[in-house]
Structure 1
Amino acid sequence: MIPGLELALIGGTGLYQLAGLEDAETHQPVTRYGAPSGPAHVGTLHGRRIAFLARHGEGHSVPPHRVNYRANLAALQSLGARRVLALNTVGGIGADFGPRVLACPDQLIDYTWGRISTVCEEPGTDVLHVDFGEPYSRGLRRQVLAAAQRSGTALVDGGCYGATQGPRLETRAEIARMRRDGCDLVGMTGMPEAGLAREMGLDYACLAIVANWAAGAGPDPDEVITLQDVLDNVAAASAGLPGLLEALLQGNGNA
């Protein structure tokens, strides 16, 4: 347990380290659920103690369906984190969610399968039935949105995140179905992470970084998505992150 650690960040595709983290210490906790994707780095950012963990490992070696989501969250919780801001690289479906947009979704739909999605998996554990009607913590979302406003960072408020299995990208028909279902964003790691955070009693919010149009959603229906395009767009969209994080960490005396 690290005193004063209130906020943890989980980085997605293209976000394997946190720029500006000072006096960083590396921790590799092993949890009751096994080892996390990689080490957690705890340091000081804008005068506050925070932790950072790369969801896919620091070399992007863990595909979305193999991420040990329970271990990642449990590791951060064991270090003392009570609030988690998830950075998710996603595709855009809705008209307001094009490449290089930042969004803070307020809803999600889970299309994944076969992943361990609860802390109630092992025999003998307590059975939890947590309320999940509002999948992201309202208070943390409000703080993220307020921080974006104070820092002048463009951030879309709301939207529905559709979590797919991966690691392949989706077909046009799948994206068309998701659009009919009401999804604005598509990613591969939003679940079971959000549900597990709720079961573990963590405040959790998502900062979605739109890397590309989802299949058939953009102005060019024949666009071919390349990894380089994704990384370039993530880098461009992430340009506003330092200012937003500074405002978040310095606001209200807590994260």
Structure 2
Amino acid sequence: MNIAIIGGTGVYDPRILNNIREQVTPTPYGVVRFKTGEYAGKEVAFIPRHGSNHSIPPHLINYRANIWAMKKMGVKNVIATTAVGSLNPDMKPGDFVLIDQFLDFVKNRTTTFYEGGSRGVAHVDVTTPYCPSIRNVLAGEAKELGISLHQQGTYVCTEGPRFETPAEIKMFAKLGGDVVGMTNVPEVILAREAEMCYATVSMVTNFAAGISPQPLTHHEVLETMQANTENIKQLILTAIERLEPDTDCACKHALAEYGGFKL
């Protein structure tokens, strides 16, 4: 199983795949339950990040267990989706953004597999945190499908589960943030440590606090996601068709200095 989809808010349904099965995988961080299926002759894993009923808040997602389970299953390529608020007037509700950088404002999450002890300490490079190979495939498929996609964007990750204040949004914008969400860190970092190719497609669901003319609601997020569900499904599935999981990539050697990632 070489490919995984990690579905964010609004992307809970594994039925975009065929021959769906339940999978249970134990990890040092807990048991992970997810679905597996097939598309275009390829085995694909599907994890709804917040659970199938959006029952897990962003600060309590077991990011380490999810990534470890994917690695244990043999996954080499991960396409993740996220719902985000926009700090950038050019990135409007309904737009897709192909994230290429992040700003980390999480407070209480473990962001590494390497905490000393038997695993030791590792300092992974995140100069290019999102896989260029997968990003190129996604960008190419979006163009073919006629889907509007911003080719770059900086994701500001906050702790949540509350929305941000207007003062925070103003600060994030001054620091160069384009969109704000609550889940991409530590997921992207852990995927890099696990030497997996990982890319994120974010859907703008609203303008952030202080930019939006009305108070923010989770219902607004879901409404925008539902209106664009078919586009995100199409983009992911056509990208899976084109992905060549065994293609060599720098992501797959991210911890070469430490002898590689070991389960």
What CA distance in whole angstroms lies between the structure 2 residues aligned with 1:76 and 1:235? Answer: 27
What CA distance in whole angstroms lies between the structure 1 residues aligned with 2:229 and 2:11? Answer: 9
Are 1:212 and 1:229, in contact at CA under 8 Å, matched by a contact in 2? yes
Match 1:89 to one of 83, 87, 105 = 83
Are 1:210 and 1:237, in contact at CA under 8 Å, matched by a contact in 2? no
- 1:233 to 2:224 alignment: yes
- 1:186 to 2:180 alignment: yes
Give a deviation string over 1:66-100, Cα, whole Å, max 9, x none: 11101011111212211111111111110122211
Alignment of 1:96-245 (within 5 A): 96-121=90-115, 123-218=117-212, 220=213, 223-245=214-236
**TM-score of the superposed pair, with normalisation by structure 1:** 0.91
Are 2:14 and 2:20, in contact at CA under 8 Å, matched by a contact in 1? no
The Cα of 1:20 is off from its aligned counterpart by 2.4
Alignment of 1:11-90 (within 5 A): 11-36=7-32, 39-90=33-84
What CA distance in whole angstroms lies between the structure 1 residues aligned with 2:164 and 2:89? Answer: 18
What CA distance in whole angstroms lies between the structure 1 residues aligned with 2:77 and 2:244? Answer: 14
Are 1:101 and 1:237, in contact at CA under 8 Å, matched by a contact in 2? no
Amino acid at match of 1:231: L
The Cα of 1:136 is off from its aligned counterpart by 0.7
What CA distance in whole angstroms lies between the structure 2 residues aligned with 1:95 and 1:189? Answer: 22
What CA distance in whole angstroms lies between the structure 2 residues aligned with 1:7 and 1:252? Answer: 9
Amino acid at match of 1:250: E
What CA distance in whole angstroms lies between the structure 1 residues aligned with 2:61 and 2:237? Answer: 29
What CA distance in whole angstroms lies between the structure 2 residues aligned with 1:252 and 1:177? Answer: 37
Amino acid at match of 1:15: V
Match in the other structure for 2:5: 9
Are 2:76 and 2:245, in contact at CA under 8 Å, matched by a contact in 1? no
Percent identity reads 35
Match in the other structure for 1:248: 239
The Cα of 1:250 is off from its aligned counterpart by 2.1
Give a deviation string over 1:191-215, Cα, whole Å, max 9, x none: 0111111111011100101111110
Are 1:89 and 1:208, in contact at CA under 8 Å, matched by a contact in 2? yes
Are 1:18 and 1:52, in contact at CA under 8 Å, matched by a contact in 2? yes
Are 1:209 and 1:238, in contact at CA under 8 Å, matched by a contact in 2? no
**4+ residue runs over 4 A deviation:** 252-255
Amino acid at match of 1:34: G
Amino acid at match of 2:198: Y
- Structure 2: stretches of 5+ with no match in the other structure: 247-263
Aligned length: 246
- SS at the partner of 1:124? helix
The Cα of 1:252 is off from its aligned counterpart by 5.8
Are 1:117 and 1:192, in contact at CA under 8 Å, matched by a contact in 2? yes
The Cα of 1:254 is off from its aligned counterpart by 5.3
Q: Would the alpha carbon gap of residues 252 and 199 (structure 1) be closer, same or farther in structure 2, given more than 3 Å must change?
A: closer
Q: Would the alpha carbon gap of residues 227 and 202 (structure 1) be closer, same or farther in structure 2, given more than 3 Å must change?
A: same
Are 1:102 and 1:237, in contact at CA under 8 Å, matched by a contact in 2? no
Are 1:22 and 1:44, in contact at CA under 8 Å, matched by a contact in 2? yes
Q: Would the alpha carbon gap of residues 217 and 60 (structure 1) be closer, same or farther in structure 2, given more than 3 Å must change?
A: same
